[in-house]
Structure 1
Amino acid sequence: MGQHLELEKTITFEAAHRLPFMPEEHKCRQFHGHTYRLTVTIRGEVGDDGIIYDFADLEEAMRIAVVDECDHNDLNSFLPNPTGESLVIWMRGAVQVRLPHRLRVVRLRLQEGDHNATIWTEDMGASQGESDG
């Protein structure tokens, strides 16, 4: 059996949302936008070719799963309350189903602007009984 390692890829996209369940006076209840940086970490076995997975293929999976859906879009159009928390849970499943079964997403970090980030890790998802999609 080969060595297991992790790969990490980051992509950026722009999107807007509002958080309708916040108090009436809260600024996030109003429609607003962010620059998001999504970093996905996958784990897999190094193959005979010396790699776990091609970075370009990981980027393509992330683009199809997340960027094509979110970039320059209203996140409320497909998530009723698009908090960082609900976004990372959704994104993790959306990316995972686009990867070969031998690979798994073990960490996902969604940075919202320069100062805030929400992080999902494999041990967090397992404790909540999350499925792959």
Structure 2
Amino acid sequence: MIQQIYPQVQHDYSYELNKDLHFAAAHSIQHPDAGKCQQVHGHTYFANVTIAGDELDDSGFLFNFSTIKALIHKKFDHTLLNDHADVFGEDDFPTTEVMARKIYELIQQELDQLPHQPKCLQVFLRETPTSYCVYRPKRGTENGK
């Protein structure tokens, strides 16, 4: 993976971790405005996840990097995103924007189970070499919606 500089999130937490990962997946956007993207096609997605908090767990982690990889790479790599009914609703198309939000939601659900309560601050998701999306939950919202 090439080294990149990602947009920074301003925060007052003591710790911030970032995890880069990639996964190959196909999708189609079943909406008339999607043009050619209505056809099934694939991408190699590059993601960066930013997590922050003030406390570490008993093992000295804010959040284990391998858990992030398991939550995202293991779930989506070499799959058809449209087939993930547990993630996408009938009218919830797997666009880059929606994918970034869904990745955030999957990670934040896991973080919410931890006693030291780290927060996912941002998900950067690159779909092509020239196109990416950044998802950040609005401040003061619990689930980012």
TM over 0.5: yes
Q: Which has the higher strand share?
A: 1
Q: In angstroms, what is the RMSD of aligned CA positions?
A: 2.6
Aligned residues: 123
Which of structure 1's runs of 4+ aligned residues deviate more than 6 A? none
CA distance in 1, matches of 2:62, 2:142: 24
Percent identity, aligned pairs only?
27
Taking the aligned partners of 2:78 and 2:38, their CA distance within structure 1 comes to 19
TM-score (ref. length: structure 2): 0.72
Q: d(CA) in 2 for partners of 1:130 and 1:22?
A: 33
Out of 125, 128, 136, which is 1:110 matched to? Answer: 125
Deviation at 1:46, TM superposition (A): 5.4
More helix by share: 1
The separation in 2 between residues aligned to 1:13 and 1:45, in whole angstroms, is 30
Deviations 1:61-99 (A, max 9, x none): 222221121100000002341011111111101011223
Unaligned ranges ≥5, structure 1: none
Answering whether residue 71 of structure 2 is matched by residue 62 of structure 1, we say no
TM-score, structure 1 as length reference: 0.78
Q: After the TM superposition, which residues 64-103 of structure 1 pair with which residues of structure 2 at under 5 Å, given as runs? A: 64-78=70-84, 79=88, 80=90, 81-99=93-111, 100-101=114-115, 102-103=117-118
Cα deviation, 1:23-46, whole Å, max 9, x if unaligned, reads 37x111111000101100011125
